[in-house]
């Protein structure tokens, strides 16, 4: 470890923001890797503050930039490092003033500008932020009753707010945006291969972590605080995985049985795969397929930690799988991920409407059609996405059913879950308090 050198959380946040490019960089990976390197080099880093500042700035990016543009005469000429210093300062003044005094936000921002060694920049940062403090209670915000105003006030892409207003109406579109901007509590899935939910709840309390039972999933706990998961004894012993409640419901709706052959396509880190193994007491023949070496490696590590031994992993493109006939096939299709905005705030800046209309549906249809050939007669095909958009969901299924006459929809019946007992299950953050998810369950009749 280097001695005599100190880096603050704000300096580290600025370094990350300067490298962050929507659509080209993974913000979560950047934050985690930067924290790890900083701890190795400099020692203590206030990780909680860093993450709150980073994700907060990205969450409110539209709003923050609108404010900067309003208060700066030459906003278009502001260079990236200075704009990012202003972004962090504006966020602290508008959204963290209950804990960080305005003068501290200004002073720390000016100090960051000094580090760039531009005297003019520090004066500019000071002037803009002090002007914000003077005017923050009387800013001329745009009309929230328009999609454009909604995009600014609730920091979503304008194309997306316009789309949602057209689809849901103004009031519900506003509710979705508001739900997206809430910070969800951490949800975990109990590994019932090793421990019961009540027992894990008690063990977490011994480690100082209070939790509540999930509302719909029988395997979930919602943590009242946001601990460093890796340091918890329960996690080291493989007693749980981090998984949103909506995602937990997928494996239950699949209804896997012991001794069945089950295929998980686009399995990612193996989160749902391990849940399927859990629900079948590791007595099903499960194959997890993904085209990423990194994801496969991570899934194998997760299986080992959880005590899952009955999963075969395959690194393959989803459209090239052959030689398997399964009783149940799950297609967790690549999608826009717009249902997970509340947890992955950068995803709303990483997507375009063109991707939703053409790119993702094309891939989803190809994978779904190929997967259908891997289902046994009378077998189950479950399609799901973490998208809220019909082009990736209902439209894909309707196109598939028109061309695949041997499949028909099975009503999804999950006790206590609003919206179940219907042909599709649609979950929304503003309605269910869960990530946005879509599921369609189909049965194959005939060859």
pLDDT (tens digit per residue) in 359-391: 999 999 999 999 999 999 999 999 999 999 999
User: How confident is the model at residue 1, as a pLDDT?
Assistant: 34
Least confident of 12-16, 170-174, 256-260, 443-447: 443-447
Q: Which whole number is the average pLDDT over 46-59?
A: 93
Asked, colleague to colleague, whether 9-138 and 187-242 share their fold, the answer is no
Q: What CATH number labels 187-242?
A: 3.30.70.1170
pTM comes to: 0.92
Q: What is the mean pLDDT of the chain?
A: 93
Q: Is pLDDT at 419 greater than 80 in this prediction?
A: no
pLDDT of residue 207: 93
Q: What is the pLDDT of residue 447?
A: 53
Domain 249-444 part of CATH 3.40.50.150: yes
Query: What pLDDT, on the 0 to 100 scale, is given for residue 230?
Result: 87
Note the pLDDT tens digit of each residue in 137-154: 999 999 999 999 999 999
**pLDDT > 60? residue 103:** yes
Helices (H), 43-188: 47-59, 61-71, 80-95, 102-115, 119-135, 147-153, 158-168, 170-180
Query: Which has the minimum average pLDDT: 21-25, 274-278, 378-382, 404-408?
Result: 21-25
Is residue 300 a contact partner of residue 268, using CB atoms and an 8 Å limit? no
Q: What is the mean pLDDT of residues 6-20?
A: 88
Give kind and range of the element (H or E) at residue 190.
strand 187-190
Question: How would DSSP label each residue in 282-343?
Answer: T-SEEEEEES-HHHHHHHHHHHHHHT--SEEEEE--GGG--S--EEEEEEE-----GGGTTT
The residues assigned a catalytic role are: 386
Architecture label for domain 9-138: Orthogonal Bundle (1.10)
Residue 139, CA distances (Å) to 136, 224, 281 in order: 6, 35, 58
Token readout for 321 is 């799988």
pLDDT for 309-342, tens place per residue? 899 999 999 999 999 999 999 999 999 999 999 9
Neighbours of 169 (CB within 10 A): 11
What pLDDT, in 10s, does the model give residues 21-50? 988 888 988 998 998 888 887 777 788 899
The domain locations on the chain are: 9-138, 147-180, 187-242, 249-444
Q: What percent of the chain has pLDDT over 90?
A: 83
């Amino acid at each position: 470890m280097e001695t005599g050198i100190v880096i603050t959380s704000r300096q580290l946040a600025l370094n990350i923001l300067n490298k962050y490019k929507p659509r080209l960089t993974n913000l979560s990976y950047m934050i985690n890797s930067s924290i790890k390197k900083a701890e190795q080099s400099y020692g203590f880093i206030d990780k909680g503050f860093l993450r709150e500042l980073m994700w907060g700035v990205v969450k409110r990016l539209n709003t923050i930039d609108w404010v900067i543009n309003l208060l700066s005469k030459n906003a278009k000429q502001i260079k990236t490092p200075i704009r990012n210093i202003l972004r962090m300062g504006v966020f602290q003044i508008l959204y963290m003033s209950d804990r960080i005094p305005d003068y501290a936000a200004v002073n720390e921002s000016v100090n960051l500008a000094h580090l760039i060694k531009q005297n003019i920049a520090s004066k500019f940062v000071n002037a803009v932020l002090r002007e914000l403090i003077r005017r923050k209670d009387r800013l001329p915000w745009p009309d929230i009753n328009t999609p454009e105003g909604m995009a600014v006030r609730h920091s979503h892409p304008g194309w997306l707010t316009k789309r949602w207003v057209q689809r849901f109406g103004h009031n519900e579109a506003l509710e979705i945006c508001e739900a997206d901007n809430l910070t969800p509590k951490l949800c975990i899935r109990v590994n019932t291969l090793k421990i019961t939910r009540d027992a894990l709840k008690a063990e977490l309390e011994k480690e100082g972590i209070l939790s509540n039972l999930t509302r719909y999933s029988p395997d979930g706990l919602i943590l009242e605080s946001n601990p460093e998961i890796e340091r918890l004894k329960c996690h080291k012993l493989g007693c749980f995985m981090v998984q949103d409640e909506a995602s937990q419901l997928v494996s239950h709706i699949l209804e896997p049985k012991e001794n069945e052959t089950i295929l998980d396509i686009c399995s990612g880190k193996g989160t749902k795969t391990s849940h399927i193994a859990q629900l079948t007491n590791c007595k099903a023949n499960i194959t997890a397929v993904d085209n990423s070496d990194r994801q496969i490696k991570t899934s194998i590590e997760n299986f080992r930690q959880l005590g899952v031994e009955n999963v075969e992993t395959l690194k393959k493109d989803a459209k090239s799988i052959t030689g398997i006939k399964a009783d149940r096939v799950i297609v967790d299709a690549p999608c826009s991920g717009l249902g997970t905005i509340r947890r992955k705030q950068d995803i709303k800046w990483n997507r375009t409407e063109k991707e939703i209309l053409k790119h993702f549906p094309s891939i989803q249809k190809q994978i779904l059609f190929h997967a259908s050939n891997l289902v046994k007669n009378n077998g189950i095909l479950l399609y799901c996405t973490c998208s809220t958009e019909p082009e990736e969901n209902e439209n894909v299924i309707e196109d598939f059913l028109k061309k695949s006459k041997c499949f028909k929809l099975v009503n999804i019946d999950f006790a206590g879950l609003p919206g179940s007992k219907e042909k599709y299950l649609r979950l929304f953050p503003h309605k269910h308090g869960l990530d946005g998810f879509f599921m369609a369950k189909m049965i194959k009749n005939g060859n």
